[in-house]
Structure 1
Amino acid sequence: MKLLKSAIIASTVMILLSIVTKDITAQQWVTDMQDTSLTLAQKQASFNAYWDNREYEKGKGFKQFKRKEYFQQNRIGENGKLDLPQNRITDYRRIQKEISTAKSIGVAGQWVQLGPFGPSNGIGSGRINCVDFHPTNSNKIIIGAPSGGIWRSDNGGTSWTTNTDDLASIGISDIKYAPSDASIIYVATGDIDGDDTYSIGILKSTDGGNTWNTTGLSYNYQQKRKAYRLLVHPTNPDIVYASTSLGFYKSTDGGITWTRKKLGTYKDIEFKPGDPNTIYIASSTRVIVSTNGGDSFTNKLSISGSRRVEIAVTPNDPNYVYALSGNNTDGGFNGIYQSTDAGSNFTLKASSPNLLGWSKNGSDAGGQAWYDLALTVSPTNKNKLFVGGVNMWTSNNGGSSWNIAGYWIAGQGVPYTHADIHMIRYNTHNSSEIWACTDGGVSKSTDNGSNWNEKNNQLAIAQMYRMGGSKTIANKILTGWQDNGSNLMTSNWNFVLGGDGMECIISHSSSNTMYGSLYYGNIRRSYDGGNNWSEISNSIPETGAWVTPYIMDDNNANILIAGYDNVWKTVNKGNNWTKISSWSGGKLNTIAATGNNTSTIWTANNYSLYKTTDGGTNWTTISGNLGSGQVNSIAINKANPNKVWVCKSGFYDGQKVYQTIDGGATWTNISGSLPNYPVNTIVNAPNTANGLYVGTDMGVYYYDTNLGDWVPFMKDLPNVIVSELELFETGDKIRAATYGRGLWESVTYPFATNINNSTNNKLNKVKIYPNPAKDIIYIELNQNINTAIKLTIINSIGSIIDEITILNNDVNSINTSKYPKGIYFFKLISDTHYSINKVIIQ
């Protein structure tokens, strides 16, 4: 680990030296952020070199970097770089095959979605990257979310459904129907703008989106490649083009094989209307044209100081081509270019006002062109354009002058559109209907952009960071979302707090008292169920992590503990705070506590794990063999605070979960068979045999000492990052906040209680031997009952693999050679008695 830190420090020094030799006004940090060859420390150094002497401004990319930084901190490897697993598809298919056989209610989980099914009242649903339209049915529309999968509407966007929760990657960059065959759809996986998920290449459906298969252009996660945009030939569905981070590709056999036609990174591609042999492709600084179906290319436009280029064409005049450029200096508007001769020549039409900033009149500077940049042209008016950045702008004269068409704040005399626009498309069936894909979902205009309405009903794609549920009211949960604030679930969902929502708490003494937060530890309090809020953290002179941890005392609702650079405590619900630690070394990212007045507190930052048993008077730095990666989450056994579990970040195989039973003096690695994905959250189930649930980048798993290992606990749960888990003990439920598919709930593990506990109705006179067994196992019953007894054999993930009638007062032999090796539960049940016994078959 010391060698790793030394290497990272050395690399950081080198990049800082290189940065100071460059023009400090240039957004080198954006280039470095997207460079997969750099360490996270190098990216942070580049970002800090640019921002250290600048004040934070909205719409300039600051938050997008911090969001990406938070994501990557949990997913770096020994070399300090983003390190993704090679076998994501194989791993997921193996686990899903196991779970799909589960017939019982339980061990595999029984997840159902709690919502929101569409937007909360007053806010969007979550981010959408792309939209496309069925070639013959105007009511059929398909969209793609960066971490929520593919969604289809059969009623013009009135409602949406999905069937892609089981894809190996539910991030979607682009999606295209084959114009000549609506049963064929191609999908570019991943996240074109935000890196919230990673690409597995191009997928294809041949049944209108009911099922999906990989194509010859497939990636494993470890390659860190990206697929951006797609084009499908208008009359031949087997000819398809893809722009990627490794070049421009073409397939002529429906995606079976692909040929790279041009090396480079190209984010946007378009056909010349009516001539699919003419293709326009855009790099970060150029527009390049092919007139022979991609066999050769000619550079037609080079744009000085450009960061990213988007292209648009119109069937109203196929010779018209527009190119929108965001600049390399600050991500703001660099210019709009027009060609009237099919790309042979381009003319700069405008470079002001700033179409890509936050200002309603375009008077500000900068933007985030690398994150949100969109362009479209009317299919019936070659001079009617729309540009999307933070806001939406329109031109009626070919780009010479511009007017605001959609503003990110409602009630400002301009139609509202959610901030950050990733795609704008005209419906191919209606020249007055325009769709915008934003960080809030999809918006639709039916009057050529004069008015906009969000169309997010049933669109369940919330990217949740955290949640906090009532301890007594089952349907009262506060959740924090990326891009869409904090939202409260009661009988419906309501937007209650703005900004990017983070950690949440509902008081256990009064469910109308609740706490929400924004990034960096801006904690707010409400006494009236979320109607009114006041900031309570402004007296703390430190800033917290992107997702700042804070918790409430189990017994005293007046006490809160929060982690910034140090640990802070309030005994009056946040009116005043006291610092109860004194150290440096990074922002605290997790915290847990128990005992009277939270006497025992554990917390961690990127480098260290700390503990106090006297409420913060004295702290101990916990050492020991805790593997690599940062501590993501801590669980303390409430009955025995010396028993603690921590889970770890990163792709460090076999280094996922550690247990101490002596307050941190020694540690045991209990990672067992957990797959090699970051473990983001851990909870201990009370009154169980050390029952643990963990949420990972690939689902939920359960462990207890009866099992001795982890079992998948994710039946019907989408293949989505699980950000946080929380138990609702009153109802024996567990909840999962996911980053891309909202809030979910399952019954708890049915065998979580100690299976050896006896009850009045238990079959006590049972002998099962040998245990472990190999080829045969014997069951002896000497019970004073007269009814038949049924043996149900259940494997560790809930599959009923056999059912046998057992004779009482006899020795019953069971052939176990036909069962795979593993852990089983033998459930013996009669009309009046039962017994559950753990059996190991070797």
Structure 2
Amino acid sequence: MIAAFLSAAGFAQQPQSPLVSSFQEHLRHQEQSIYGLNWISLGPVGNSALVEAFQVDMQHPGTIYLGFGSGSLWKTTNNGLSWKPIFDEEASYSVGDFALAPSNTNIIYFGTGETLKKPRNFTMPGTGMYRSDDGGETWRHLGLDDSWHIAKVVVHPTNPDIVYVAVLGHLWTTNPHRGIYRSLNGGKDWEHVLYVNDQTGANDIVMAPSDPNTLYASVWESYPTVNGKNSGVFKSVDGGKTWKRQDSGIPVGEGRGRIGLAVSHQNPDKVYALMDHRNKDGMDAEEVGAAEVYLSLDGAKSWKRTHTDELMINSVIGWYFADIVVDAHDDDEIYALGVRLVHSKDGGKTFEIVAGDVYHLFPNPADPLHLDQCEIWINPTNSSHIALANDGGFYVSYDKGQSWMHYNNIPTGEFYDITLDKGTPYKIYGGTQDNATVFGPSREWNPKRHDGWQYLWIDPWSGGDGCITVIDPVDSMTIYYSAQEGAIRRMDLKTGNSKPVRPNSEKMGVELNYHFISPYFLSEFDNRELYLGGNYVVKSENRGDDWKVISPDLTKNGNSNKTSLAVSALVESPLEKGMMYAGTDRGLLWSTPDGGKTWTDRSEGLPDAYVRSITPSKYQSSRVYLALSGINYDDFNTYLFKSEDGGKTWESLKGNLPGEVAYVIKEDPVFENVLYAGLYRAVYISTDRGKTWSKLGQGFPPAAVSDIEVEPRSHDLVVSTHGRGIYKVNLKPLYEVLDKKSINEEMLLALGNVTVLPAERFDKLHNFDLEKMTISFWLPKAKTVSINILDEKKVLQWSKKIDGRKGLNQYRWDLILRENKSPLPYFLNQREFLPKGKYTLQLVGDKTLEKEFEAID
């Protein structure tokens, strides 16, 4: 059977991703915004994040590329000591796979759209294929717009214009643009050379190193579930022009899941397949081991399982993995990737788990090698040198996994939620994708220093998903933090001991279903009352020790389109005790005015989308805001709503926002009409309660904004992202502008404390401990201005010309007055910092504005 479908210039016929038009809107907002506050990265980096794909550049030693699933593509040229993002200016930022051309490693083919199918609102789609000819400095789009999720990219070993792409396609809906695509002219045109159906995409493609015309590809029936009878293996012997299904001997039926492939470097007919077998003799995959390795010695005409013992490296999430590689020098030596990494030296007959000692670039208490393996590389010139990517980041070993260096120095944390405590200074708590719940300081991240963040552990394997953290409003030493599906723990920070307080379904006489991220809260009115949302809302009156059901089943209301799994958002009004709202994953919205005694359906007028954020107003008890996400259903529309009557009627707040997914909406604690919305790429602000919106700040990376909190004393706006860590911006300059109502002239705005190094500090050549001085000013029109610092005698100490934009501007000065040089071997004062004292800040534009300040140590 030959499955081939050819279409020259194929990408021109594909519909454009909606992310492209929303990106153009995003750029317009970026250009037009008058709110030019500077976002400050807080990291953290200690716990790292999921790496979907990576490449080691053998032609340029020390150059490595890391693709974080939701955190863009990063590059190092100094063997991992420092990294920079190189794909932040494009329409998508998610990573599927990418490849360096072996004949010229400055050529990169990049496939967007991550492939780990997770229904958590954060499996980010892409906008097709891109190419760089200069090592990632510049990019051009190559089409395949409707691919959305690209699983594998392979480039010919000698001709960099021949490239193959395995397209997984849409994750949550059908689409015809799936399968294998080939370009013979560097991506100018594409041929759709392998297509099965609109539910089955291509997961992997490998080229025989000894014969580039021999290719093997796996297809995966990934919709509507994660397995199906159409999954399987295909082969081409004519450079990908035609394909034939060749998977005899691999188990047939609906249990066929994701398949990874590896081919011998010496023998093009020797090929391995690692399959996620979802239904083995009717048994649960986790009980009998879903992972199976098959070997063909006749070019895929026949296959045979290599091992008699069950391979227990997969679990109920086995479709996340299925990658397998073979050593370049010994084709009996293979590595298979699942929850754990395993190694075989006898062609897959026996396997041993690879663990090893883990050392971290920055301090980290995690001891074992992180779970959930995504990709592995074996140095073709030295088989002892391997690199590994998993949910915990990037690891390198020079002794085949006996020891590892963990490169935990990139701020790409995938956060679900954040909480701020009431300490001085305040700390931030956040739950991350498979990297636990962490907490740390609100200070700027310095890439040369330990970030100071710590773990609240979730599991003993260096990770586990941290979800939501709650701090007791009365006893700040008591906190609650959770893993997936309602697994809440109560912790005493004084002792460090924690206790599981997840409800027991049997005791309550109901079957409880939960979302992966299950909402819960502690009442601000009674710190002993804990509420948790599943398919029912349950309540504890003794901090989680005992529970009772306080709602009917909230997953259905008679409308089959809105039938849901469980409650996805649950909150209480800050103004009225017992006034609560519960939202579900299909747009059901319920309210109760009396602590759960009666519930009313308030979902009329809302889309069938995932209710991700509910914000009852701090100003009016009948006012409530909603953010809903459709990304789990391949719906990228912007769903923000407001109700002034407790949910009886809803008004869309999309306004002039870009057409992209919204995750969170929050009120400002000082100005009633000011709202903040977190979208797919940025934070937006409205000063008229949602009628119009502007992009807030500059320097924010392209990333999904998962949560927003305002710290009431410092007026810091703190934002978590799913893929680029945590950022903050201080709102005091904004508040000063809002107080003025309208500003038609240049204005210098408030300065915070300016702290300098004490004169007696010996290590003044370093500025690790200094916080930058933030200078804020308003311009009624764009112009070039000068900022001057004068001492008490009005002598100029420092000056800087700035191209100011219309509106609110900021410049963050590092307090370095000048750099000094000397040929002396023990010369000390290389950098001269601003000393303590009294100064005048000048803004020189059409006129000169001055503000006095004091620098203290």
* Structure 2 residue corresponding to 1:111, chosen from 39, 50, 54: 39
The yes-or-no answer on 1:601 pairing with 2:570 is no
Aligned counterparts of 1:280 and 1:718: Cα–Cα separation in 2: 38
Q: 1:548 to 1:108 in 2, by over 3 A?
A: farther
Aligned counterparts of 1:502 and 1:579: Cα–Cα separation in 2: 22
Query: What does 1:365-764 align with in structure 2 at a 5 Å threshold?
Result: 368-406=317-355, 416-449=368-401, 451-490=402-441, 492-498=452-458, 499-528=464-493, 531-538=496-503, 541=508, 542-554=512-524, 557-570=527-540, 572-577=542-547, 579-582=549-552, 584-585=554-555, 587-595=566-574, 598-605=577-584, 606-617=586-597, 619-622=599-602, 625-626=605-606, 629-650=609-630, 656-664=639-647, 666-705=649-688, 708-713=691-696, 715-748=698-731, 750-752=733-735, 755=738
1:153 aligned residue: 76
Q: 1:406 to 1:616 in 2, by over 3 A?
A: same
1:209 aligned residue: 136
Aligned counterparts of 2:24 and 2:333: Cα–Cα separation in 1: 47
After superposition, the C-alpha distances for 1:280-311 in whole angstroms (9 at most, x for unaligned) are 32335554433332233455543233433322
The yes-or-no answer on 1:240 pairing with 2:163 is yes
Q: Secondary structure of 1:91's partner?
A: helix
CA contact 1:637–1:686 (8 Å) conserved in 2: no
Q: 1:469 to 1:565 in 2, by over 3 A?
A: same
Aligned counterparts of 2:338 and 2:530: Cα–Cα separation in 1: 40
Aligned counterparts of 2:479 and 2:301: Cα–Cα separation in 1: 60
CA contact 2:271–2:296 (8 Å) conserved in 1: yes
Aligned counterparts of 2:592 and 2:65: Cα–Cα separation in 1: 53
CA contact 1:704–1:752 (8 Å) conserved in 2: no
After superposition, the C-alpha distances for 1:658-704 in whole angstroms (9 at most, x for unaligned) are 33344445544333112333322111112214211111223221112
Q: 1:625 to 1:373 in 2, by over 3 A?
A: closer
Task: Give 1:432 deviation, angstroms.
Answer: 1.4
The yes-or-no answer on 1:293 pairing with 2:217 is no
Q: 1:791 to 1:580 in 2, by over 3 A?
A: closer
Q: Secondary structure of 2:567's partner?
A: coil
Aligned counterparts of 1:380 and 1:791: Cα–Cα separation in 2: 64
Q: 1:535 to 1:453 in 2, by over 3 A?
A: same
CA contact 1:408–1:418 (8 Å) conserved in 2: no
The yes-or-no answer on 1:270 pairing with 2:206 is yes
CA contact 2:415–2:433 (8 Å) conserved in 1: yes
Task: Give 1:134 deviation, angstroms.
Answer: 0.7
Output the amino acid matched with 2:455: F
Q: 1:157 to 1:613 in 2, by over 3 A?
A: same
Task: Give 1:571 deviation, angstroms.
Answer: 5.0
After superposition, the C-alpha distances for 1:245-302 in whole angstroms (9 at most, x for unaligned) are 4232222221111122333443222222243223232335554433332233455543
Aligned counterparts of 1:178 and 1:762: Cα–Cα separation in 2: 55
Query: What does 1:167-186 align with in structure 2 at a 5 Å threshold?
Result: 167-186=90-109
Q: Secondary structure of 2:21's partner?
A: helix
* Structure 2 residue corresponding to 1:163, chosen from 83, 86, 89: 86
Q: 1:661 to 1:108 in 2, by over 3 A?
A: farther
1:218 aligned residue: 144
Q: 1:236 to 1:538 in 2, by over 3 A?
A: same
* Structure 2 residue corresponding to 1:91, chosen from 9, 19, 22: 22
Q: CA RMSD in A?
A: 3.8
Q: 1:409 to 1:308 in 2, by over 3 A?
A: farther
CA contact 2:313–2:341 (8 Å) conserved in 1: no
Count residues with an aligned counterpart. 675
Aligned counterparts of 1:580 and 1:268: Cα–Cα separation in 2: 48
Judge which range, 675-684 or 824-833, deviates more: 824-833
Aligned counterparts of 1:791 and 1:158: Cα–Cα separation in 2: 38
CA contact 2:70–2:93 (8 Å) conserved in 1: yes
Aligned counterparts of 2:496 and 2:264: Cα–Cα separation in 1: 47
Output the amino acid matched with 2:179: G
Q: 1:752 to 1:614 in 2, by over 3 A?
A: farther
2:263 aligned residue: 313
Judge which range, 542-551 or 725-734, deviates more: 542-551
1:304 aligned residue: 251
Aligned counterparts of 2:568 and 2:240: Cα–Cα separation in 1: 49
Q: Secondary structure of 1:135's partner?
A: coil
CA contact 2:636–2:661 (8 Å) conserved in 1: no
Q: 1:475 to 1:194 in 2, by over 3 A?
A: farther
Aligned counterparts of 2:300 and 2:663: Cα–Cα separation in 1: 52
Aligned counterparts of 1:209 and 1:166: Cα–Cα separation in 2: 11
Output the amino acid matched with 2:479: M
Normalising by structure 1, what TM-score? 0.72
Q: 1:97 to 1:512 in 2, by over 3 A?
A: same
Q: Give unpaired runs (5+ residues) of structure 2.
A: 1-14, 169-177, 221-230, 360-366, 442-450, 459-463, 557-565, 746-776, 786-805, 810-844, 852-857
Aligned-pair identity in percent equals: 26
Query: What does 1:783-822 align with in structure 2 at a 5 Å threshold?
Result: 792-793=779-780, 800=782
Query: What does 1:54-93 align with in structure 2 at a 5 Å threshold?
Result: 86-93=17-24
The yes-or-no answer on 1:325 pairing with 2:275 is yes
Output the amino acid matched with 1:573: R
Task: Give 1:616 deviation, angstroms.
Answer: 4.5
Q: Secondary structure of 2:26's partner?
A: helix
CA contact 1:464–1:482 (8 Å) conserved in 2: yes
Q: 1:159 to 1:353 in 2, by over 3 A?
A: farther
CA contact 2:257–2:276 (8 Å) conserved in 1: yes
1:785 aligned residue: none
Aligned counterparts of 2:270 and 2:204: Cα–Cα separation in 1: 17
Task: Give 1:461 deviation, angstroms.
Answer: 2.6
Q: Secondary structure of 1:242's partner?
A: strand
Aligned counterparts of 1:791 and 1:420: Cα–Cα separation in 2: 49
Task: Give 1:709 deviation, angstroms.
Answer: 0.8
2:817 aligned residue: none
Aligned counterparts of 1:832 and 1:741: Cα–Cα separation in 2: 37
Task: Give 1:648 deviation, angstroms.
Answer: 3.1
Output the amino acid matched with 2:694: V
2:217 aligned residue: 281
After superposition, the C-alpha distances for 1:311-330 in whole angstroms (9 at most, x for unaligned) are 22343556643333332525
Task: Give 1:504 deviation, angstroms.
Answer: 0.9
Aligned counterparts of 2:343 and 2:551: Cα–Cα separation in 1: 54
Q: Secondary structure of 1:370's partner?
A: helix
Normalising by structure 2, what TM-score? 0.71
1:191 aligned residue: 114
Aligned counterparts of 1:91 and 1:530: Cα–Cα separation in 2: 49
Aligned counterparts of 1:530 and 1:725: Cα–Cα separation in 2: 30
CA contact 2:676–2:683 (8 Å) conserved in 1: yes
Q: Secondary structure of 1:266's partner?
A: strand
